[in-house]
Structure 1
Amino acid sequence: MPAPFPRALVLAAALALPALAHAQQPPKPEQLIKWRQSAYQTIAWNVARIKSNVDGSFQKDEVARAAAIVAALANGGLGSLFRPGTETGKGWHETTVKPTLFSDGSGVGAKSAAFAKEASELHRVALTGDLTAIKAQFGNLQRSCKACHDDYRN
């Protein structure tokens, strides 16, 4: 017959359960807004890095690194940061999302998928170092960003 659990282990487990339950509470709307603002600022910074390279002194590796980050974020589940309750409020600053984003599921899904597709393709093309192809694909990415901003951002 196995030995019973030591009392200290049982007590430690009992004390840890409330902490674990608290740790699994959904994030507050303000935290979700901060996370999405941070993610989109990171995207904007990397898009600016790409733009400066395709418009100026081209550095293939710099473009590839920036495109990898944009693709990772675009495919990383950004939609989960747009939960009900985050239509208004403040993260790092007041949110600029339009309420229609939360009621147009199919439209948002299509635009999100297009952004992820264009970002992934930009990363693939950036790895080739073909500046002409990178410029063309960068334009596709920018159009996907603008389409979402036009419909869902104030």
Structure 2
Amino acid sequence: MNTRLRAAALGTLAIAFVGTATAADLKPEEQIQTRQAGYSFMSWNMGKIKANLDGDYSQPQVEAAANAIAGIANSGMGALYGPGTDKDIGDVKTRVKPELFTDQEGVGEVAVAFIEAANNMAETAALGDEAEVKAAFGKLGESCKACHKKYRKD
């Protein structure tokens, strides 16, 4: 395991443990709602980056959106997948597949890949080269799709 990957994995675990104390205070339905809010915010920021790549490119806008995504990616959202959050609770619906709760190794791999892609996107956006941003954005999108494909219901 390379040093960057190891650092990302350890950082993720450390954040997850810190986040667990906060997430433990939330009811399962609140955990679902909170993680969905985080994913919605990331999606909105992905849309902002895509709009910049498809239209008039604004490096400050792309950098801000990329930093928001990286911030959420590194926030320890894994702690929001606590017991009881694997199924719908009343009006609170989830699209998570049960495998997310049993495939720890696979989940760890997609989580680390996503965090690395989000961090790379933020670093690349700060440099401002549109072609490099486009490539980093593609990798970030691939990391999102990898998790959706394995662990999200259609």
With the shorter chain as reference, the TM-score category is 0.7 to 0.9
Identify the residue that residue 98 of structure 2 maps to in structure 1: 99
State how far apart, in whole Å, the 2-side matches of 1:122 and 1:26 are.
32
Check conservation: 1:89, 1:95, Cα contact below 8 A: yes
Question: What fraction of aligned residue pairs are identical, expressed as a percent?
Answer: 42
Q: Structure 1: how far apart are the matches of 2:135 and 2:23?
A: 44
Aligned residue in 1 for 2:111 = 112
- For 1:87, the equivalent position in structure 2 comes to 86
Q: Which runs of 5+ in 1 are unaligned?
A: 1-22
Q: CA deviation at 1:93?
A: 4.3
For 1:29-108, what aligned pairs fall within 5 Å after superposition?
29-90=28-89, 93-108=92-107
Instruction: Give the deviation of 1:26 after TM superposition.
Output: 2.7
Where relative contact order (Cα < 8 A, 6+ residues apart) is larger, the structure is 2
Identify the residue that residue 123 of structure 1 maps to in structure 2: 122
Going from structure 1 to structure 2, the CA distance change for 1:91 and 1:149 (only over 3 Å counts) comes to farther
Aligned length: 132
Q: Deviations over 1:106-141 (max 9, x none)?
A: 100110011000000000000111000000000000
The equivalent residue for 1:17 is: none
CA distance in 2, matches of 1:36, 1:76: 11
Which residue does the alignment assign to 1:19? none
Q: Is the 8 A contact 1:64 1:123 kept in 2?
A: yes
Contact 2:23 2:79 survives alignment (8 Å):
no
Runs ≥4 residues deviating over 3 A = 90-93
Unaligned runs of 5+ in 2: 1-21
Q: Match for residue 16 of structure 1? A: none
Q: Report the RMSD for the aligned CA atoms in angstroms.
A: 1.8
Q: Secondary structure at the match of 2:118?
A: helix
CA deviations on 1:25-46 (whole Å, 9 max, x unpaired) are 7311000001001000000000
TM-score where L is the length of structure 1: 0.81
Corresponding position of 1:4: none
Q: Are the aligned partners of 2:23 and 2:31 in contact in 1 as well (CA < 8 Å)? A: no
Greater fraction of residues in helix: 2
SS at match of 1:97: coil
What SS does the corresponding residue of 1:135 show, helix, strand or coil? Answer: helix
Q: Which is greater in Rg?
A: 1
Contact 2:97 2:152 in 1 (8 A): yes
Report the TM-score when normalising by structure 2.
0.81
Distance 1:110-1:91 versus aligned 2 partners, 3 A rule: farther
